[in-house]
Amino acid sequence: MANEQKSLNFIEQIIEEDIANGLDKNNLRFRFPPEPNGYLHIGHAASICLNFGLGEKYNAPVNLRFDDTNPAKEEQEYVDAIKRDVAWLGFIWDKELYSSDYFQQLYNWTIDIIKAGKAYVDLQSSEEIAKQKGTPTQPGVVGPYRNASVEENLALFEKMKNGEFNEGEAILRAKIDMTHNNMHMRDPIMYRILKKAHHRTGNDWVIYPMYDWTHGESDYLEQITHSLCTLEFKSHRDLYEWYLAQVVTTDKIQPKQREFARRNISYTVMSKRKLLQLVQENHVSGWDDPRMPTISGLRRRGYTPNSIKKFSEVAGISKRDNVTDVALLEFCIKDELNKTAPRVMAVLDPIKLIINNYPANKEEILIAENNPEDEQAGTREVPFSKELFIERDDFREQANKKFFRLKLGGEVRLKNAYIIKAESVEKDENGQITAIHCTADLDSRSGSGTEASQRKVKGTIHWVSSKHTVSSEVRLYDRLFKDEAPDSHKDIDFKEFINPNSLTTISALVEPSLLTAKSGDRFQFQRKGYFCVDTESTATHLIFNRTVGLTDSWAKQEKKQATPKNDPAFDAIVPLAGKYLKARSNEERNELLNSIGQLANKTNRDIITPKLNDVIANKEVLAGLLTLKFIGIDSNEEKTFLQKALGMKNAAIKLEAIYITIANTTLLEENKALLTSILAQEKSPFIKEIIEKAIA
RNA sequence: UGUCCCAUGGUGUAAUGGUAACACAGCGGUUUUUGGUACCGUCGUUCAAGGUUCGAGUCCUUGUGGGACAACCA
């Protein structure tokens, strides 16, 4: 039986349990509640797919609700962008709602809460309030305004509402418990004064409700059954429930907040604050730069709504911190585009190919399959002539048997055309090849049905006809960051890891059928990858973005041979160095040092040294340092690395670098000036003392 | 020196006390007019120690590791 049941994620399990306990399925209702202070990213897509996915699964309505309680950060531009992105993903929201629609209702409830003696106006400065709040390990203390009378509070709150206070002079707090374990319960702020125009309510209000005092009540007003948010709101749940308890009536549904882990992806960052920084500091061209993990960036990059939904589905949902391999996202788009994208020929790095035995004035129209994966896709016409361009990579004067492409004296098929044999090359004065001469087997034309056309040759390469080709701009994107998790390093700014080569713009030659391509169209450039027409593209200046490359097992093999192998011993040292950084006792450190020493003696200096000056992460730097501590320093590269380590922020690394430097008289002499300058800036008396002694 | 959450292959998720599985990535092969695709194969996993149980990835205890929480942000 094809009755295979898909396993439920933990949210679905909670819902099923609630239904089993008597919740009417027909009352199920969800919401996606973004703050309009930035663009949506692939992490939001997980939340969107979760909420709207539940809506589809249970046939329940899903609201799009803008959490717009902070006019200082929010803009209409973001509201529009968010609506566009959710709609583009293909989801239909039940109602478009705004928290700001509930300002009056929230205000009315607030009056009741004050009357019940459960909220008070506090006129202290934010510093005083913060001080009284305590810390996670120390309880807070009661402030002087906590026991004011209901009448006084009502009057003060009225003054707040009427704009009689300036920003920062007064706030309204819930009266809960200043000694509560959960900091959020220590008399949290319900309202603050913000004399700013709101993008929807204008200047109607000068008091604005805080997130906690808005979110649960909005859920309640909309009768949301399950209010799903990310893990960092876990500790807000107590407050969410406390606020709800002040207003619920038993005949209505009390919403339930549940938390799931946000979706992270390797080689990128996923926080609005950091993405905003990339935009503002011009590391990217905008929110929709194709390198950005935003929905709009992915759209421009060539991702489809389905590929993003598919990704959210296969990545799943859970409560564990995660960094999902970006390869999974790429798989989702490749898998779809393989079935749907028309094939075309484009030469990215052209070199001229002349067919000696083909008439100079002859032109042929050849027939090419649009998509071998899709019979319905049909065929197209591609012009052919004596002079062509092929990919520079597809030719070598000499090569071994594993090279299936064109080499002197070797044969290869030109896709959809003839089998050719390379005869000679033309070179310029620098020895650079400027043209390749070949002869064609004129009986071997693809599809001609002749015996020669059935011949098997090992390689097939793509081409464009010189006379008919269209020149275009192609943007090749690589990952934006060099590190898997650029924002996971404690004392290193994530921007340190930005990949300087994340965008390469080239001019490429494409087949003439692409002349009619329109913005957003997606193609497979055969043997190269999937590309889409950029939004900036025009009829006279075509621009293609590379969405993702094809799996290239030849390039992989080449690379494997070209790049030096990893050093297994060093790779084993790195995690130990990570532990060393966190070690609490000298005993622990000595034990680790012992293991590292044994491994260090097995490392291969020739492999490690060239890599040293590229490492950025603390544990890798320390691993290099500790390895050198055992095997000694002897090259200039290693000395440079030591100096870099001396300049690092991390105290443990700096200290280790200092120890290595002062243990060796030559190194000490060479780095005296550097040590002196470190001494001048150093705050730690311990490190200062060590340096002073050594220099003296 | 608190409270809470989390811990399954390289990565992401499943297994709801009963054979640890699926996908991605990796590796190898077959097919191929894309070194793509497809197909086949392969690699590798329950943080530790105790306990409950006929039986524990799952329940309990302790420990270890990671994370969240002290914005007039959301």
How far is A605 from A428, CA to CA, in rounded Å?
A: 41
How far is A487 from A496, CA to CA, in rounded Å?
A: 10
* ipTM of this predicted structure: 0.97
A447 Cβ nearer than 7 Å to chain B strand: yes
Q: Which residues pair with A523 in a beta bridge?
A: A531
Least confident piece of the model among A141-155, A339-353, A550-564: A550-564
Residue nearest to nucleotide B10 (CA to C1'): A325
- Hey, which residues of A are catalytic here? 35, 262, 272
Higher pLDDT, A566 or A425: A425
B59 C1' to A13 CA distance, Å: 19
> Which nucleotides in chain B lie closer than 7 A to a protein CB?
1-8, 10-16, 23-27, 33-38, 65-74
A231-278 pLDDT per residue, tens: 999 999 999 999 999 999 999 999 999 999 999 999 999 999 999 999
Contact A656, A623 (CB under 8 A): no
B54 C1' to A211 CA distance, Å: 53
Q: In what order do the strands lie in the sheet with A350-355?
A: A460-461, A411-414, A419-427, A433-441, A350-355, A387-391, A463-465
| Ramachandran bin of A457, using left for φ above 0, alpha for ψ from -120 to 50, beta for the remaining angles | beta
B11 C1' to A658 CA distance, Å: 37
Residue A334 pLDDT level (bands cut at 50, 70, 90): very high
Instruction: From A645, A631, A625, select the one nearest A600 (Cα to Cα).
Output: A631
Q: Is 50 exceeded by the pLDDT of residue A2?
A: no
**What is the rounded average pLDDT of the residues A356-383?**
96
Which residues, at least 6 apart from A659, have a Cβ–Cβ distance to it below 8 Å? A629, A690
Across all residues in chain A, what is the average pLDDT? 94
Buried b (16+ CB within 10 A) or exposed e, A339-354: eebbbbbbbbebbebb
How far is A403 from A396, CA to CA, in rounded Å?
A: 9
